[in-house]
Amino acid sequence: MHPVLEDRRYLIPFRATLLSQIFTDVLVIGGGVAGYRAALSAAQHSEVIVAVKGGIKHSSTYWAQGGIAAAVDAGDSFDEHVRDTLVAGADLCDETVVRKTVEAGPACIDELIRWGMTFDISRNGDEGGAANAHMALGREGGHSCARILHADGDATGRVLAQTLDAQVRASDRIRVFEQCFVLDLVTLDGAPTRCVGAITHHPKYGLQVICARAVVLASGGCGQLYRESTNPSSATGDGLAMAYRAGAELADMAFMQFHPTTLYVAGAARSLITEAVRGEGAHLIDKNGYRFMPDYHEMAELAPRDIVARAILAQMAQTNTTHVYLDCRHLGSEQFAQRFPHIHDLLTKFEIDPGATPIPVHPSAHYMIGGVRTDLAGRTNITGLYACGEASCTGLHGANRLASNSLLEGLVFGRIVGDACREMMANGPTPPARVVSDIRPSDRLELDLDDVRSSLRSVMWRQVGIQRDGRRLTEVAESIDFWARYTLDKIFDDRAGWEVQNMLLVGALVTRAALWRAESRGTHFRMDAPEPDDAFAVHDLWQRGRDEPTTVVSIAGQGGAVTHAI
Ligand code: SIN
């Protein structure tokens, strides 16, 4: 990495003692499923502040359509769910983590039902019946059976976010700070480093330090690194960047998952068309009306999503087009509207009737599988810093996340992490932060930040996307270093600048990790090394101050660390 990507410990200069300081026991960064679930557990033993970059509507959780994977059906089993997760993960999942997550699934669903969440029931079921007996279960790619619980058709994320939000707002031990941008984790040097809070910016209150005995990073992913993305605009990788600057280990950063089907209409946001549509029997066809997926995989449209995404690219190249089509005509308009009411509404705005016309679709960046490495309790290598949800790498997803396992992971590990924070409460009251950050302002000219941002997003999509190549990745790494030289030496005073600085750092890490991984596995496909290579059946860990990654056989800490030469 270029030194400018490594040198800066904090984004801005500050003296913590001169800023207003707020004290709490637990600071949770992020208001998606993992952050809110962690806050609810932590509130059982402590006072909690949740810092949310926007509001709940801006989280990836709120946007999730598909649902929550859980083995609740009598014909399903934990073993089957574990097996499907391991197969999708391409030999890189931690089986202990997978089993722990899968086995906690049904209890998470019961808890949500107790909190008032209404899941869709099958037409034959009784309204309000027993928790699991009549759930309507959807099927998505890589699942060997229908296993996805959903709510309000295709609005599971919204219903889930609202359910958790109601619980959070009802707790008198949790305060939610909305529009609160977290710039950096505040740490004390030592062995190990100790996290004591975070520096934040609020449009009304300016810079503040939130001092906490435990900090939970649940800040989501970084899909906005890519020009084509299903993610909300808030997903700029801030949490990953601040964790890296603080010295946390980031794992498996090459594994960005691409979703095969987002709406491809000029002028429309790249809205997800949930995989559950294919689960209801929709076919992918090319511009000639040819159904191509059976040519690529025996599971056809329900193959794991990396395979579907690459097949779409191949078919687009063969037919010289920018997109393919999702053919739902067999469902008819009425049934489509009933099962996918919000997608139906969106399509109607563009005068597309899915009962009569195939939907134009195209792949987009969707989910960062890598993230801050944690153990089985969500602890990181920094004392007092925990991570969960998309910002974390627990080892659950391996090299490719099984569809709808992420809301489940957020629920399971959110609870675990919120509980685990209790161990930091024995050390007496939260002390004030006395950290000083000295940075000399650069005297260079003003930058066109939008141009840097869009150049990065564009090159990431073209060269660090679904198909990668070693030579091109080297060129991208050099371009990012070049942009970083005159962007990361600046001091910005608003979130647009901080976001671009974070995106450059995280983009550099994704590119380096993709370059290092000279093989193809899961979501990571290298045209110059198209097969998996056993030498790379390990997790790569990136940490500030180290030029090369170290590798381990297990994220959560089982098995030994191994060194691995590139
Ligand atoms: C989808 O609804 O297709 C996305 C579900 C997921 O990413 O887990």
**Cα 412 to middle of ligand 1, angstroms:** 18
Ligand 1 atom nearest residue 275's Cα: 3
How much is the pLDDT for 558? Answer: 52
**Cα 470 to middle of ligand 1, angstroms:** 29
DSSP string, 295-342: GT-TTGGGS-HHHHHHHHHHHHHHHT-S-EEEE-TTTHHHHHHHHSHH
Quick check: 237 and 504 in contact, CB under 8 A?
A: no
Q: For ligand 1, is residue 261 a contact (CB within 6 Å)?
A: no
Ligand 1 atom nearest residue 273's Cα: 3
pLDDT band at 565 (very low <50, low <70, confident <90, very high): very low
Q: For ligand 1, is residue 400 a contact (CB within 6 Å)?
A: no
Q: Is 305 a known active-site residue?
A: yes
For the chain, the farthest-separated pair of C-alpha atoms sits apart, in whole angstroms, at 69
How much is the pLDDT for 563? Answer: 37
**Cα 59 to middle of ligand 1, angstroms:** 14
| For residue 96, pLDDT beyond 50 | yes
Mean pLDDT, to the nearest integer, of 312-340? 95
* Three-class HEC string of 81-121: HHHHHHHHCCCCCCHHHHHHHHHHHHHHHHHHHHCCCCCCE
Beta-bridge mates of residue 291: 285
Mean pLDDT, to the nearest integer, of 241-269? 94
**Per annotation, catalytic residue among 8, 147, 278, 305:** 305
Query: Which of 346, 404, 405 is the pocket-test mutation for ligand 1 (most atoms within 8 Å of CB)?
Result: 404
Q: For ligand 1, is residue 404 a contact (CB within 6 Å)?
A: yes
Ligand 1 atom nearest residue 261's Cα: 3
Angle between helix 33-42 and 156-170 (nearest 10): 20
| For residue 566, pLDDT beyond 90 | no
Beta-bridge mates of residue 533: none
Q: For ligand 1, is residue 301 a contact (CB within 6 Å)?
A: no
Ligand 1 atom nearest residue 69's Cα: 8
Give the pLDDT confidence of 133-166 residue by residue, as tens digits: 588 999 988 899 999 999 999 999 999 999 999 9
Beta strands in 369-513 (DSSP E): 371-373, 385-387, 392-393, 436-437
Query: Which of 60, 62, 65 is the pocket-test mutation for ligand 1 (most atoms within 8 Å of CB)?
Result: 65
Mean pLDDT, to the nearest integer, of 234-249? 97
Q: What percentage of the chain exceeds 70 in pLDDT?
A: 96
**Cα 206 to middle of ligand 1, angstroms:** 36
Instruction: Judge residue 295's burial from the number of C-beta atoms within 10 Å of its C-beta, 0-12 exposed, 13-18 middle, 19 or more buried.
Output: exposed
Give the pLDDT confidence of 352-392 residue by residue, as tens digits: 999 999 999 999 999 999 999 999 999 999 999 999 999 99
Mean pLDDT check: name the lowest of 133-142, 185-194, 489-498, 522-531. Answer: 133-142
| For residue 300, pLDDT beyond 90 | yes
**Cα 75 to middle of ligand 1, angstroms:** 22
Ligand 1 atom nearest residue 65's Cα: 2
Q: For ligand 1, is residue 403 a contact (CB within 6 Å)?
A: yes
Q: Backbone phi, then psi, for 37, in 5-degree steps?
A: -70, -35
Q: What percentage of the chain exceeds 90 in pLDDT?
A: 85
SS3 content of the chain, % helix, strand, coil (to 5): 35, 20, 45
Q: For ligand 1, is residue 231 a contact (CB within 6 Å)?
A: no
Give the list of residues 6+ apart from residue 354 with CB closer than 8 angstroms, or none: 328, 329, 331, 333, 336, 343, 344, 347
Give the pLDDT confidence of 263-292 residue by residue, as tens digits: 999 877 778 999 999 999 999 999 999 999
Q: Whose CA is nearest to atom 8 of ligand 1?
A: 404
**Cα 180 to middle of ligand 1, angstroms:** 28
pLDDT band at 559 (very low <50, low <70, confident <90, very high): very low
CA 197 to chain centre: 23
Q: Indicate the pairing of strand 283-285 with strand 539-542.
A: unpaired
Closest CA to 479 of 496, 499, 494, 464: 464
**Cα 346 to middle of ligand 1, angstroms:** 17
Mean pLDDT check: name the lowest of 81-90, 534-543, 556-565. Answer: 556-565
Instruction: Judge residue 443's burial from the number of C-beta atoms within 10 Å of its C-beta, 0-12 exposed, 13-18 middle, 19 or more buried.
Output: exposed
Distances (CA, A) of 322 to 312, 361, 363, 388: 10, 9, 10, 36
Beta strands in 369-442 (DSSP E): 371-373, 385-387, 392-393, 436-437
**Cα 540 to middle of ligand 1, angstroms:** 26
| For residue 129, pLDDT beyond 70 | no
Query: Which of 101, 139, 255, 275 is the pocket-test mutation for ligand 1 (most atoms within 8 Å of CB)?
Result: 275
How much is the pLDDT for 124? Answer: 57
**Cα 369 to middle of ligand 1, angstroms:** 13
Q: For ligand 1, is residue 275 a contact (CB within 6 Å)?
A: yes
Ligand 1 atom nearest residue 257's Cα: 7
Q: For ligand 1, is residue 274 a contact (CB within 6 Å)?
A: yes
Tokens of 440: 């000399």
Quick check: 49 and 22 in contact, CB under 8 A?
A: yes
- Whether the pTM exceeds 0.75: the reply is yes
Mean pLDDT, to the nearest integer, of 467-481? 97
Q: Backbone phi, then psi, for 310, in 5-degree steps?
A: -70, -35
How much is the pLDDT for 443? Answer: 67
Q: How far is residue 287's CA from residue 319's CA, in Å, rounded to a whole number?
A: 7
Distances (CA, A) of 528 to 441, 506, 520: 42, 24, 9
Give the pLDDT confidence of 48-90 residue by residue, as tens digits: 999 999 988 889 999 888 899 999 999 999 999 999 999 999 9
| For residue 33, pLDDT beyond 50 | yes
How much is the pLDDT for 298? Answer: 93
Instruction: Judge residue 538's burial from the number of C-beta atoms within 10 Å of its C-beta, 0-12 exposed, 13-18 middle, 19 or more buried.
Output: buried
Give the pLDDT confidence of 331-352 residue by residue, as tens digits: 999 999 999 999 999 999 999 9
Q: Whose CA is nearest to atom 2 of ligand 1?
A: 66
pLDDT band at 560 (very low <50, low <70, confident <90, very high): very low
**Cα 263 to middle of ligand 1, angstroms:** 14
How much is the pLDDT for 445? Answer: 66
Query: Which of 60, 149, 231, 272 is the pocket-test mutation for ligand 1 (most atoms within 8 Å of CB)?
Result: 272
Query: Which of 60, 120, 140, 397 is the pocket-test mutation for ligand 1 (most atoms within 8 Å of CB)?
Result: 140
> Tokens 């045209």 correspond to what residue?
527
pLDDT band at 464 (very low <50, low <70, confident <90, very high): very high
Q: How far is residue 232's CA from residue 222's CA, in Å, rounded to a whole number?
A: 10
Give the pLDDT confidence of 404-447 residue by residue, as tens digits: 999 999 999 999 999 999 999 987 778 888 899 998 877 666 78
How much is the pLDDT for 444? Answer: 64
How much is the pLDDT for 564? Answer: 38
Average pLDDT, rounded, for the chain = 93
How much is the pLDDT for 56? Answer: 85
Quick check: 112 and 70 in contact, CB under 8 A?
A: no
